[in-house]
Amino acid sequence: MPELIQPNKNKPGQHPIIPTNETVELSESEIKQINDALHHVPFASGASIDALKIIQQHRGWVSDACLKALSDHMKVSTADLDAVATFYNLIFRQPVGKVVLHPCDGISCDLMGGKKIRKCLSKKLGIGNGQTTADDQFTLIPLPCLGACDKAPVMIASEKLFELMDENSVANILKDLSSKAGDKS
Amino acid sequence: MSEQQAPSNPLTRFITDDENCWTLEQYQTHGGYDGLKKALTMTSPDVLETIKQSGLRGRGGAGFPTGLKWSFVPQGDDAPSPKYMIVNADEMEPGAFKDRWLLEKSPHQILEGLIVGGFTLQADIGYVFIRGDYYLAIERIEKAIQECYDAGLLGKNIQGSGFDYDIHIHTSAGRYICGEETALINSLEGKRANPRAKPPFPQVAGLWGKPTIVNNVETFCNLPHIINFGPDWFKGLGRCKDAGTKIFGVSGRVKTPGLWELPMGTPIRELIEVHGGGMCDGYKLKGYLPGGGSTDFLTEEHLDTPMDYDEIGKVRSRMGTGTIIVLDDKYCPIEMVINLVKFFAQESCGWCTPCREGLPWGVEILEKIEQGRGEMCDIEQLEALTRFAAPGNTFCALAPGAVEPLQSALNYYRDDFIKHIEQGCCPYEAGEHNHD
Ligand SMILES: Cc1cc2nc3c(=O)[nH]c(=O)nc-3n(C[C@H](O)[C@H](O)[C@H](O)COP(=O)(O)O)c2cc1C
Ligand code: SF4
Ligand code: FES
């Protein structure tokens, strides 16, 4: 496989992609969970999404090396796994920060000032959509309608829904989340 | 026992202020699982006949009669097996928030519907295909499934009926197209969520090639009550032709946005002005999408239209999910359409050209107009685009749905388009909610 080009490490919000010749081994608990998922489906490929999610749950994202390890374990080609991985919004093929912020960019939120909230988040963190802060705390990935349109504008982060946000609440929410992210590391 | 007398709010009578109203214990004290228990004393064909007679139509957007859809599933000893029954809980339609509420507040009602459905078609396995971002809902559905197993409502020989049935949960990895029923089936098979060509229809060859039924969360919620209180009661609930109640919602700049269970056929005016509390002070109604982000705009003149599939069709929009998105007079309608078409462009599965290429092209033209660089011929281009993406030209209903708000905006807000082009800027620029 050709060497991947190393992106400029000094560029804010960008991560080096690990070279594909690096190998990783799946952990025991990953293998156990993946085998559980395989148990439920008539064909191994049927567990692709679940398996990718399991990897991500353990490692935060799915690297090329993980994809290779998964492929070896499941006997599903890396191309097929990557086709699935790149299709879905919630599978990350790049490293993400400790907390992924999902402000809603659906229409009901935007009617209620959602754009302002997203701008405010972006400005406070100094990153654009899809980017990660230099300290690896936050990644910003807006998502479509989060199903809480009567509480607009809203955001999901750390499996929690923040409702009726305004520019004043953004700072507090970030402070709260970053202290929790600190606990994790 | 007053609750056992036919209720007028079957879907929400279980939802109380109590944090734990979702639990099996509370659900059962309000008559939960009575519908299932009654169904288990009937024959499967009788249950199907009851559902057919009720006139229940799918609540996921298209309004297809549920009983009719189910009648295509092969039955009898030589029917393929296993058979699958799937709850479509992948809610992601812009402006739709009813399924999340039902999932969080009344998971057992959905499971009861799924078990009744399974019994009706003698299915073997039920799935809840749920949006991955709905964390609380996932947690509660998981717990509720466990409670069912513990109480003998799932598993082998349910309630001594001889009927075996299991339910699994699949949390989606996130894409709007997963809500399309054949794409959902592909996703459940671990594939990219591209829709499938029909025929064969999923009722005959769906998940893993076996007979499969996919219905919306709210559709399933209705089933136990139809069995419990009868099809005539159900038909009597509606205010027009359509049977039953519906979870309606209003979002946007109204005083009290929210969700309410009301009779089918409730007029739009009542929803926006009474339940939604009317427009916020300082804002006027400019228009609304009656059934979520993929339905055509309607305006003030249509306010007295009942929320009934046929009646809304007559004024050339759709009931969709029954969740109204209100556009106020300070928000640029073109900006609203950009938001929507961008969403659909982003969520296109990429299978067919009018959708994959046409929608981003539409966004480009709309942004050009919004930024004051538009020309009159752009309006014609947009109109052409809505025709390219019309039903029949694409593989699934995503692209046709995407151009519904666009084509109706071109109709009702044409002056706004022209003003943008003539003035060379957005006339709403001064509005406090745009562009800042
Ligand atoms: C792009 C697209 C997205 C859809 N998303 C959903 C959805 O999130 N939930 C849903 O119930 N139906 C959705 N549908 C409709 C389903 O294809 C299907 O018609 C529905 O689940 C059938 O259930 P019902 O008859 O109970 O409404 C979607 C359709 C399309 C074309
Ligand atoms: S209309 Fe769009 S979403 Fe539907 S199949 Fe075609 S490309 Fe995919
Ligand atoms: S549009 Fe943001 S929650 Fe629905």
| Residue B337 Cα to chain centre, angstroms | 20
Residues of chain B contacting residue A157, judged by C-beta atoms under 8 Å apart: none
For the question of an ipTM over 0.90, the answer is yes
Q: Ligand 2 pocket, B356 CB below 6 A?
A: yes
Residue A34 has pLDDT above 50, yes or no: yes
| B304 touches B312 (CB < 8 A) | no
Please check whether residue B47 is in contact with residue B39, taking contact to mean a CB–CB distance below 8 angstroms. yes
d(CA B264, CA A117): 36
> Percentage helix, strand, coil, to 5, in chain A?
45, 10, 45
Task: Report the distance separating Cα B389 and Cα B403, nearest Å.
Answer: 7
**Cα gap A177→A170, rounded to integer Å:** 11
Q: Beta strand pairing status for A99-103 and A155-157?
A: antiparallel
Collapsing DSSP to helix, strand or coil, B372 comes out as coil
Query: What span, in angstroms and rounded, lies between the C-alpha atoms of A131 and A14?
Result: 7
Q: Which residues have a Cβ under 8 Å from the Cβ of A110 and sit 6 or more positions away? A: A153, B335, B336, B339
Cβ <8 Å between B173 and A40:
no
Q: Is the separation of the CB atoms in B124 and B166 below 8 Å?
A: yes
CB A41 within 8 A of CB B188: no
Res. A183 pLDDT band, cuts 50 70 90: low
pLDDT of residue A40: 87
Q: Is the pLDDT score of A114 beyond 90?
A: yes
Instruction: Look at A149 and B192 and tell me if their CB atoms are within 8 Å.
Output: no
Whether the CB-CB separation of B365 and B382 falls below 8 Å is answered with yes
| pLDDT confidence of residue B429 | 66
Tell me if residue B390 falls in helix, strand or coil. Answer: coil
Q: How far apart are CA A20 and CA B43, in angstroms?
A: 59
The pair of three-digit structure tokens given for residue A73, joined into one six-digit string: 């374990």
Q: What's the whole-model pTM score? A: 0.94
CB atoms within 10 A of CB A171: 11
Contact A107 B132 (CB under 8 A): no
Per-residue pLDDT of chain B (436 residues; tens, 9 = 90+): 344 578 999 999 999 999 999 999 999 998 999 999 999 999 999 999 999 999 999 999 989 999 999 999 999 989 999 999 999 999 999 999 999 999 999 999 999 999 999 999 999 999 999 999 999 999 999 999 999 999 999 999 999 999 999 999 999 999 999 999 999 999 999 999 999 999 999 999 999 999 999 999 999 999 999 999 999 999 999 999 999 999 999 999 999 999 999 999 999 999 999 999 999 999 999 999 999 999 999 999 999 999 999 999 999 999 999 999 999 999 999 999 999 999 999 999 999 999 999 999 999 999 999 999 999 999 999 999 999 999 999 999 999 999 999 999 999 999 999 999 999 999 996 544 444 4
- In the 8-state DSSP scheme, what is residue A19? P
Q: State CA A106 to chain mean position distance.
A: 19
Closest CA to B359 of B393, B331, B325, B332: B393
Q: Which two tokens stand for residue B289?
A: 């999408």
Indicate the Cα dihedral angle A51, A56, A59, A61, nearest 10°.
130
Length of chain A: 185
Q: For B94, which of A42, A88, A144 is closest by C-beta distance? A: A144
What is the amino acid identity at position B106? S
pLDDT of the residue at B363: 98
Task: Say if residues B229 and B3 touch (Cβ distance below 8 Å).
Answer: no
| Whole-angstrom Cα Rg for chain A | 18
When CB atoms are compared, the residue of A111, A156, A160 closest to B253 is A111
Report domain extents, chain A.
28-87, 99-184
B46 to chain A, minimum CA–CA distance in Å?
A: 32
- B92/A144 Cβ within 8 A: yes
A150 and B94 within 8 Å at the Cβ level: the answer is no
Atom from ligand 1 closest to the CA of residue B177? 1
Read off the amino acid at residue B353: T
Cα Rg of chain B, angstroms: 22
| The B245-252 sheet, strands edge to edge | B258-263, B245-252, B323-328, B285-289
For A144, the closest of B176, B257, B325 (CB atoms) is B176
C-beta separation of B341 from B406 below 8 A: yes
* Residue B436 pLDDT: 42
Residues of A with CB under 8 A from a CB of B: 40-43, 45-50, 52-53, 83-84, 87-91, 102, 105-108, 110-113, 115-116, 119, 143-152, 156, 159-161
Q: What structural domains does chain B harbor?
A: 3-237 (3.40.50.11540), 245-423 (3.10.20.600)
b/e B274-294 (16+ beta carbons within 10 angstroms → b): ebbeebbeebebbbbbbbbbb
Phi and psi for A155 in degrees, rounded to 5? -150, 145
Check whether the bond before A42 is cis (ω within 30° of 0).
no
List the structure tokens of A98: 């400790």
User: Which chain B residue lies closest to A51 (C-alpha atoms)?
Assistant: B190
CB A39 within 8 A of CB B184: no
Q: Could you tell me the distance, in angstroms and rounded to a whole number, from the CA of residue A108 to the centre of ligand 3?
A: 5
Q: Do A144 and B343 touch (CB under 8 A)?
A: yes
Q: Do B134 and B178 meet the contact criterion of CB atoms below 8 Å apart?
A: no
Q: Quick one: pLDDT at residue B238?
A: 95
B271 DSSP 8-state letter: I
pLDDT of residue B343: 98
Mutate to test the pocket of ligand 1, among B181, B217, B348, B398 (most ligand atoms within 8 A of CB): B181
Whole-number Å distance between alpha carbons of A164 and A40: 40
CATH code at A99-184: 3.40.30.10
- Give the Cα separation of A145 and A108 in Å (integer): 8
